[in-house]
Amino acid sequence: MSVWVLATDPDQLEPLVAAGRQAGVEVAVVAVGSRELAEAAAVSGADQVRWIQTHDAVPPEAYAPQVAALARGAGAGARVWLAGNAPAARALLGAAAVAAGAALVGGGLSLAFEGGVVVLDRVILAGAVIETLEAAGKLAVIWESSGAGDAVGGAVGGAVGVPIEEVLAAAAPGAGAGGPAPWDMRREATQVAATAAGLADAPRVVGVGRGLRSRADLVVVEELARALGAEIACSMPLADDLHWFPEERYIGRSGQKIAPRVYLALGIAGEPQHMEGVRNAKVVAAVNNDPGATVFRHATYGIVGDLYEVAPALTRALEHN
């Protein structure tokens, strides 16, 4: 029995390898990216490392055919495939799942093998419920936890490097078939206004949560942010479930960590997973209509009230200043 880990970024290695280790089985890493990534994988505590070297202009997810070939070949015996919750890693995991005939599920928190059965705890419904899945067959799991402090534990201590086996990109379907090579691409990035980059440096950030009833109501938040000269961020459900914001805009343990001078939380409950992302904010202010909301425990200033009344009032006050 073995766990295969797909990694496109060094940050993904530690929690995924630790999850496999805790399950007590052999762990193999498929590193899709630079030589540095493969070297990090070699000392991550994994038993085997395969490296698919990416070309400069080619996004990692474009190597899905090589990953699928591995899943059908050397990785055919893997019982569980794991990948982090990042777009490229998720795409590659999809390819591995199809090739391996594995059921693809999200929200992985912890993994165990009991007898011949895979037992997976995973989070669903935006963190409101943790369910236990028991699978007799193969699983491909998008891992929710990331980084130190999560349920799967910290770094694998005293790890000794293992050899890196390079999987030749030339083995890719499409290469050498007469047409252009799959890596014959050009990439050009254009920064758009709503990026995490603006958020990371912003001195003022207005964060909005499920207290907002509809997407159309975002105008209330936008007007306040404009008056305050603030960036807008959100809680995880608004990005992950409702898709009102791009993923880069949610704050928290699995999202962005920011350090503004002021973080104003509107209609956000203040769960620890969210507040972890604003731990380094100088001042946290909160508006919530529930006087018992957890967010008030983290806030320097709090207003118990309806954000639909308080936010426009704050906007008016700022505009008349």
**Which residues contact ligand FAD by CB under 6 A?**
123, 126-127, 144-145, 209-211, 235-237, 250-255, 267-269, 271, 273-274, 287-290, 293, 306-308
Number of alpha carbons in the 13 Å side-chain half-sphere of residue 93? 28
Q: Are 155 and 169 in contact (CB under 8 A)?
A: no
3-class DSSP assignment, residue 170: helix
Of residues 97 and 293, the one with the C-beta less far from ligand FAD: 293
Separation between Cα atoms, residue 183 and residue 122, nearest integer Å: 36
Only one residue has tokens 């936008």, namely: 222
Shortest distance, position 254 Cβ to ligand FAD, whole Å: 4
- Minimum distance between the CB of residue 210 and ligand FAD, rounded to whole angstroms? 3
| Closest CB to ligand FAD among residues 22, 273 | 273
Cβ-based nearer residue to ligand FAD, 70 or 287: 287
Least Å distance, CB 250 to ligand FAD, is: 5
Our CB check for ligand FAD shows the closer of 18 and 37 to be 18
- 8 A C-beta contact, residue 93 and residue 142: yes
Q: Which residues, other chains included, contact 208 with Cβ-Cβ below 8 Å and sequence gap of 6+?
A: 218, 221, 232, 233, 234, 235, 238, 266, 267, 268
Between 30 and 123, CB nearer to ligand FAD = 123
Which pair of tokens denotes residue 277? 């992302």
Quickly list H helices, the chain: 13-22, 35-42, 64-72, 87-100, 196-201, 218-228, 236-240, 272-275, 295-298, 307-319
Q: Of 124 and 175, which CB lies nearer to ligand FAD in the complex structure?
A: 124
Shortest spacing between CB 286 and ligand FAD, in angstroms: 9
Least Cβ distance, residue 108 to ligand FAD (angstroms):
10
Least distance (Å) between residue 252 CB and ligand FAD: 2
